[in-house]
Each structure stands twice: as structure tokens, then as C-alpha cells.
Chain A
Amino acid sequence: MAEEFFKDDELAVAVKAEAAEEIKRAYGMFGWRLSKECADGSYRDIVHMDFTRPHAIAGKDRLQLLQVRYEVALNFMSRARRRAFARAVVLAVLLSLAGLALVVFGAVQTASAQSSVFLWGGIALIVGGAAFFVVAACLCRLLYRRDSERYGAISAVLRENAGTILKEAADITGVHRED
């Protein structure tokens, strides 16, 4: 192979600041060397990094596949953290709005009651609305716990996979984690 034709490969990534060190170490195991790092002009939690790697690195095809899988795992873990809350938050908001509507409607009915039927009906609506908040809290807790378990299990598998991926990459490149 006439290596004079090939300059080093380049890679530019935008990463979350809290994961920057982890990414640097991981990409090191994929054979990349950090050439430049700078903060984003618009968002405080984004860091831009440029890497270089010898074009004819041994096991390049495998390293590329492993790197994609590592990035997919990492991004899914990040999204899983958000998804664990997502359904519970949506349910909480919907039930709370319904409860609030009942409380407000009940209060209006109670305040403007012409007869005891409307008075007790209004009070029942207020109690029902309050019960909605309690139900919302219980349901959201249940949903959050189930989603957390589900995504936690997936994240645990992915974390383990990411570890295996990095180990295989390190075996190919010979660059092992220092910590």
C-alpha cells in the first residue's frame, strides 16, 4: 500500500460537556487522537472536538463498526434517562389539568350554588379533583418506576455492551483505558 496517498483520517464531533472526558478516552481506544477542542458558541453544555487517526490503521473496518455501536449505545442511554420520565410527566400533566379543571369548576359551582344539590355537587367535584391529584401522583410513581426499571435494564445491557465494545477496540488498537 502506497501510504503517501493517504493523509490521516479526520473526525469532528459535537458532544455533551459532561461526557467529554469519557468520549475522549473512548475515541482514544478507537485509535483517534484529539487535535482540537472548543466550546460551542450557543450552548453551554456542548463541546466540539476534532480527532485524527492514521488512514491505514489495522482493523479499520471493525473499528468503524464498533465505534458506531458505541455511539448508538451511548446516545440510547442518554435518551433512556429522558424516556424514563417522559410517560410519567405526560400522564401527570394530563391528570393534573383534569383535576384542576374539576376543582375550579366545583369551586365555581359551590360559590354560586342556588340549592343544596349544586352546593354538594360542587363540593363533590372539588373532592373528585383533589382525588385526581392523588391518583395522578400514584399512577405517575408507578409508571415512572416501571419505565425506570425497563430503561434501566436496557441501559445496563447497553453499558455492558459499551464496555465490551471498548475492550475489543482497545485490543485492536492496543490503546487501553488508563483509569
Chain B
Amino acid sequence: MKIENGTLRRQRNSALMLRSPEGDIVRIKTERKGMGKLKGMLILFVALLQLCILAVLHLTIVVAFKSYMVFSVVLDILTCLYILGSSKNGRSKAVWIMLVLVLFPVGFLIYFLSDENIFFRGSRKRYADVLASSQGLVSGCPLCDVAEGTARAGAYIKNVTGYVPYKNTRAKYFPSGAQAFDDMLVACASAKKFIFIEYFTVAEGALFARLFDVLKERAAEGVDVRIIYDDMGSSGRMSHELKKQIRASGIQIYAFNRLVPLYKIGMNYRDHRKITVVDGVTAYTGGINIADEYVNEKRMYGYWKDNGVRIDGEAVQGFTLMFLRQWEFVTKKKFDYAPFLNAGAPERGEGVFLPFAAGLEYRDPVVRDVYAGVISRANEKLYIMTPYFVPDETIASMLAGKAREGVDVRIVLPGVPDKKYVYLISLDNADKLIESGVKVYTMSDAFVHTKSVLTENCAVIGSANFDLRSFFQQHENALYTDDAAVMRGLSDDFAATFPECAQRRYVRERRGFFRSLLIALLQIFAPMM
């Protein structure tokens, strides 16, 4: 359908005009993502083309030297042994071994081109330098006088990531992106020293226009404004013109991991974090990104359900440190963190706050392990809200086990998918747990983008989905807390969401052969989705 550009066009002879072929009565005119998709497809095509050329060249050698076939089979077997001994999760190992053996003439080659230990070594080293130079800059509260579950989570996070627990922090939970961003805008407008923004998606639109007006004005007043966006998450959604305007207004903006049309494994590692820090006094995180759909000012997949949390006080330092480390990584410039840390005055708060980051800078799958700890300590209830549900075997069996023990395990998924193939896998994975007693809900007419877990002991709110990408591949951040205000807010949000959902019933193998085959094929690639 042709859309008028907001102007009243001359009325033609209506009898000669056609009737619209569109079946819908009403259509919201906000959908504009063609360029981003086109760019992504082009990059994927060029990368696959390179892989094909490489495979053809390799096969040419195989044909020219017959004995090389034997050599490549030997290399495949050695590669499989290498994979078995690697630190990958079981599912990834199985998928890779299958791929190497099925594509046996070039299998080992494809695997080694995709091995992060070889092609992500440089980035890992830089991250290690950043972490080493920023250790011990912040001091939190001791873990001896906190609840046992929180102490265990705190110890794990501190030992693996270096992030420490905090008290003296006040928190506020927002059950929607609109509420979180309205509050954030007001906080940014009162910034005196610095504003740090790190999001997977930063997109042009009504929300960014509002935020940009405030940031521009603050930057003009001498406030240090810095933005990190992920180049894939924001692909095609921010024009060069806007980036120029942002830089011209004195705001520093950097892309994380620029998209380049090359087959390299590093392209798969994205910055999925969602952080805003204002003056080191206030911080926000949650499932939200800076794009109109997150505040329902753009319609993409029905109603967009999201959440956010604001913290004021000592725990803000954790998020400041997270941002500064990523800033040092993307800018490749060393600087002194001290002026930005220890800025927040103690606030009256009830609970302990554990801000933490996850990503390839850490050897451990931090998100998976924190979630596993939370699940293992739940004795009464375990509520999960996530857009994608592709857990590994450990998490899936833990959830099933908890439900069998009598814990009230509930999972809320979207009723409208954003990626249909991932949705198919998510529903398949969730349905498998229903027989164990897990209650699975899908929110009607809505895309659930909230990533949160609630038990009777704690709440985890942040950017990390319940999927293998968040567990093993992406840079994520979250807030673990036992603060009563946050837990009450999240609990109320769950209570308000359940009546808006349809509960899924367990149906044993009712789907057809082709659907089962499709899901089986999709499950192979689930670790990459």
C-alpha cells in the first residue's frame, strides 16, 4: 500500500481508483526495517560466499592429491578429539562433531575457522589487560552478614568476574520500557558530571529523539556523555547523518564489534548489555533497548512487554565499572577510572545488590552459572520471563527436577514471536518440561522481551535471555538482588502478567512428521541462535 507522506493529496476520481488488496482494517504505520535486514543479508551472503570459495579451493586440493583425502579424514578425527576435550558445552560439542564428520573433506577447516580460541585470541588478551588493570578499584560490602543464597551468588560473581556485592542502595522496579525510559530521561536531564549509555540497539525514532535532546543539552553544559552501541543490534537503524550529529554535539559514540563482510567467528559475539549510568549516582538496566518498539511507540510484534530497574547508591559503581571496561576495550585507550567511581552517596536500602557482567572476557559461562545457582536454591517458587527459551541440558534438567520436587516453576514466553524459528525451538523446549510439572505461559498478543528470574530468595533482572547465546556467546549484564522493593515489583509484574497469558498444555507428539523434522534440524543450530 502506498503511504502518503503526511500531506493531504489531491482527491482523484474515486470511482476509478482501486480497492486496497490489504485484508486488515487498521495498520499502524511504523514498520521500517528493510535496510537493516538487507545489510545483514548482504554481509551473511558475502561471508558464506567466502566460506564456499574456501571449501572449493580445499576440495580442489583433495581432487588433485588423492592421498590428501586420507589426510583430511585423519585431521577430522583429530579435530573431533580436540572438540571432545574442549571446554564447550555438551550440546555444542555434539553439533560440531556432527558437522565435522558430515562435511568430512572440509569439516576440520570450518571448525578451526570458527574456533574462538584461535580467532578471538587477540580480543581475549585485550579484555584480560582491561580486567587486570581495573581490579580492586571498587570495594563492596562483606559477604559474611548477608543471606546464605546471596552470599553464595556473591562469592561466585566475585571470584569469577571480580564484581562485588553492595548494600546502601535504593532500587525501583519498572514493569515496562515506557516507565523506565521516562524516569531515565529525567535522571539524564539532571546529570552534572557524566552519562554512560551502553545498549545492544540504539535506533532512530521518537524515543531516541527525546533522549538526544537531553544528551545534547547536557553535553553542551560540559557533561561527559558516552555511548556504546552494538553494530549488529543497531544495524540499519541509525543513519550516518545522525551519528555525525551526535558527534558534532560533543557526545562520544562508539560501535562495538563493527560488522564486516568477512567470515570470522568474532562477528558472532555481540554486546547485548543494557546499561545507563548517570553521574555514578543512578544506574538503569533491564531488557530495554533504545528503540521505539521498547516503549510501544512502534508496533512490531504486538504489545512489547519489557522491564527495567533503577538503582541509586553504592551499587551503581558496579555498572560504572562495567561500562568503563567496555569503553576501554572499544576505544583501545587507557584512562584513569578513578574520577568516575565512588561517586554515589550511600542510600537507605534493604537488600544486597550484585551487579555483574558476562561475556567472552570470562572463561566461565557466568549467566548460565548464576541462573543455575538461583534455580538450585529455589525451594518455593521459580518464575522466569524470557523471550527465548533455549537452555542447555543442565538448566533444563534442573528446572524439571525443581518442578518434580514441588517447586512452583513457571515460564512466561511471548505469544507473538520475533524470530519464528527460535520461537519454534523455544516452545519445543518449554513443552518438554510441562510433563515434569513446569507451567508454561505465552502472553497473548504480545512479544515478551523481559529477561528476569524471581524466586522466594532473590530476583535477577538484566539483559541475559534463557538461551545458549546469552549463556555462552554474548556480552551480558544483570543485577542479582534480594532487595524487597525489587522483588515485590517483579512479583507484582508476574502476578499482573499471568492473567494476560494462555497456559500451554502438554500434548504428546501431536505434531506432524515435517514439523518434527524442522524442529530437529533447528535444534542442531540452536547454540548459534
- Which of A's residues lie within 8 Å of B, judged by CB? 1-2, 5-7, 9-16, 19, 23, 36, 38-46, 48, 50, 55-56, 60-61, 64-65, 68-69, 71-72, 74-75, 77-79, 82
Query: Which one of A36, A39, A61, A78 has the greatest number of beta carbons of chain B within 10 Å?
Result: A61
From A5, A48, A69, give the contact of B214 (CB < 8 A): A5
Q: B residues within 8 A CB of A43?
A: 1-2, 17-20
Q: When the two chains form their complex, are residues B178 and A78 in contact, meaning their CB atoms are under 8 A apart?
A: no
Bound complex: CA A14 to CA B206 (Å): 19
Q: A79-B24, A82-B23 are in contact. List 11 more A-B contacts (CB 8 A).
A: A12-B28, A13-B26, A14-B29, A15-B27, A41-B2, A43-B18, A43-B19, A45-B20, A50-B6, A68-B303, A69-B444
Q: Which of B7-15, B54-62, B272-280 has 4 or more CB atoms under 8 Å from chain A?
A: B7-15
Q: List 13 contacting pairs A-B, 8 Å CB cutoff, sorted by A.
A: A12-B30, A13-B26, A36-B8, A38-B9, A39-B11, A40-B2, A41-B2, A41-B9, A43-B20, A55-B182, A72-B302, A75-B26, A82-B23
Q: When the two chains form their complex, are residues A79 and B20 in contact, meaning their CB atoms are under 8 A apart?
A: no
Instruction: Count how many pairs of residues, one from A and one from B, have CB atoms less than 8 Å apart in the complex.
Output: 126
Which residue from chain B places its CB closest to the CB of A81 in the assembled complex? B23
Q: When the two chains form their complex, are residues B176 and A61 in contact, meaning their CB atoms are under 8 A apart?
A: yes
Bound complex: CA A10 to CA B395 (Å): 43
Q: A residues within 8 A CB of B446?
A: 65, 68
From A40, A56, A69, give the contact of B445 (CB < 8 A): A69
- Min CB distance, B5 to chain A, in Å? 10
Bound complex: CA A81 to CA B176 (Å): 35
- Min CB distance, B433 to chain A, in Å? 27
Bound complex: CA A151 to CA B328 (Å): 59
Q: B residues within 8 A CB of A1?
A: 182-183, 186
From B3, B11, B296, B299, give the contact of A14 (CB < 8 A): B3
Which residue from chain B places its CB closest to the CB of A50 in the assembled complex? B6
Which residue from chain B places its CB closest to the CB of A12 in the assembled complex? B29
Closest 5 CB pairs of A and B: A44-B17, A43-B20, A38-B8, A68-B303, A42-B2
From A15, A38, A39, A42, give the contact of B25 (CB < 8 A): A15
Which residue from chain A places its CB closest to the CB of B296 in the assembled complex? A64
Q: When the two chains form their complex, are residues B178 and A60 in contact, meaning their CB atoms are under 8 A apart?
A: yes
Bound complex: CA A39 to CA B14 (Å): 10
B247 at interface (Cβ–Cβ under 8 A)? no
Bound complex: CA A77 to CA B18 (Å): 22
B77 at interface (Cβ–Cβ under 8 A)? no
- Min CB distance, A132 to chain B, in Å? 30
Q: When the two chains form their complex, are residues A41 and B176 in contact, meaning their CB atoms are under 8 A apart?
A: no
Bound complex: CA A110 to CA B11 (Å): 58
Q: When the two chains form their complex, are residues A15 and B4 in contact, meaning their CB atoms are under 8 A apart?
A: no
Which residue from chain B places its CB closest to the CB of A55 in the assembled complex? B182
Q: When the two chains form their complex, are residues A74 and B25 in contact, meaning their CB atoms are under 8 A apart?
A: yes
